[in-house]
Structure 1
Amino acid sequence: MSQRVLFTADTHFGHQNIIRFCNRPFRDIDEHDEVLIANWNAAVQPGDVVWHLGDFGYRGDNARLAKNFDRLNGVKNLIIGNHDRPFVREKLPWNSVEHMADIVVDGRRLILSHYAMRVWPAMRRGVYMLFGHSHTNLAGNAQSCDVGVDAFQYRPVTLDEIRAHLDTLPPITFSDRDDEVFEPEVIPAPIDPNELDSDHGDGWKL
């Protein structure tokens, strides 16, 4: 059985003001953190892989952030967000720490970044672009969405859940080129990540 892979962003552990800024339904930061940890562990098994797309925690109580990190299930990878200070990036035992990642899950190529992109590699071939940072304030499209906790019931989500959400969003249009609405080519599974080259074969050298 292959490892399950899940995605999340913008947990903002230890950030009292995030409750007010994002209208999160918690009395205080203690309740906030406890609910997010419980939701995470209900969704993620110890052997699962989690990609956290940035803003894991807020500056201040490093001991609190370390304790929260240790309580979270899964093999955890960080895509650095603007609030991820050196302690989060360098002292917490992440499996990997990147500014951006280009991965394949279940035969689908994914571009992962804390910040949303308007264009990304091989987007015309159906590649997904997953992001955080916007706290649901930036509309997605049929190939790109916010995977932060504000968008998905304060928990990590699987690619199947993301696909179901993307199916409800409008398709990409290229009005700056030909105003064409296109049906993306789905990359068949399995795919060898080593076969992905810098040209991507779609005329977009990004």
Structure 2
Amino acid sequence: MNYYIGDLHLFNRNQTDEGRNYDRRPFATVEEMNQYILERWNAKINNGDTVYILGDMAMRGKNSALLALVAQLKGKKILFRGNHDDLSDYRYQRLFEEITDYREIADSFDGKTYKLCLMHYPILMWNGQHRGSILLYAHTHNTVEEAFFQKCVKELNENKKLNVQQGKPIRAINVGCMMPYMGYEPRTLKEILSAHE
């Protein structure tokens, strides 16, 4: 089974009440956030599953506590480089099946196959978007930048001159863990799409 998540920002105090809590996450401390994510992740993911982490796993890669935490997360972890990912520690790199910037994959459920473009950053044009390919990304959290990007996607769908996708909606979905439909745990494509219907 494939799962998707991004913007975990493990060990980032500014994602909790210990710091600025940019996302207004419901955690008083980093330890509470890390433990919550670990428990939710491992309750859902099996070692045979693949988890596509769309960037910003953590703030640094040389912390022994971070190495221990990521080593406990089940599944084959594929990390898409985010702007906050420090990958300078070889031990940290080894915790991932692969580290990449971009990938196109297919995922299926209920007898239907979907083409996906995966990366950390949202982009306005991606391969196959006019033929139903879905962009999954992170980076923008739940910010004014996210609202602006989604407004652009909406305009692509509404503008008759731009709408050339033969009846298929252009879809770009933020899989940042703080989004209401993500709930700080990896989600299947079916879960993600169901939340957007």
TM-score range, shorter chain: 0.7 to 0.9
Q: Which residue of 1 aligns with 2:107?
A: 105
- The Cα of 1:43 is off from its aligned counterpart by 2.1
Q: Which residue of 1 aligns with 2:130?
A: 124
Q: Distance in 1 between matches of 2:196 and 2:89?
A: 30
How many residues are aligned here?
Answer: 164
- The Cα of 1:60 is off from its aligned counterpart by 7.0
In the superposition, the TM-score normalised over structure 2's length comes to 0.78
Relative distance call for 1:18 and 1:61 in structure 2 (3 A) is farther
Given that 1:9 and 1:54 are in contact with CA atoms closer than 8 Å, whether structure 2 keeps it comes out as yes
Superposition map of 1:57-136 within 5 A? 57-59=58-60, 62-87=63-88, 91-106=93-108, 107-136=113-142
Runs (5+) with no aligned partner, structure 1: 168-206
Superposition map of 1:145-184 within 5 A? 145-151=173-179, 152-167=182-197
Relative distance call for 1:149 and 1:104 in structure 2 (3 A) is same
CA deviation vs aligned residue, 1:26-77 (integer Å, no higher than 9, x gap): 1110111000111111221221110000000112752111111111011110
The Cα RMSD (Å) is 1.7
In the superposition, the TM-score normalised over structure 1's length comes to 0.75
SS at match of 2:34: helix
Given that 2:23 and 2:142 are in contact with CA atoms closer than 8 Å, whether structure 1 keeps it comes out as no
Aligned structure 1 segments of 4 or more residues deviating by more than 3 angstroms: 87-90, 139-142
The one-letter amino acid paired with 2:101 is H
Q: Distance in 2 between matches of 1:118 and 1:166?
A: 19
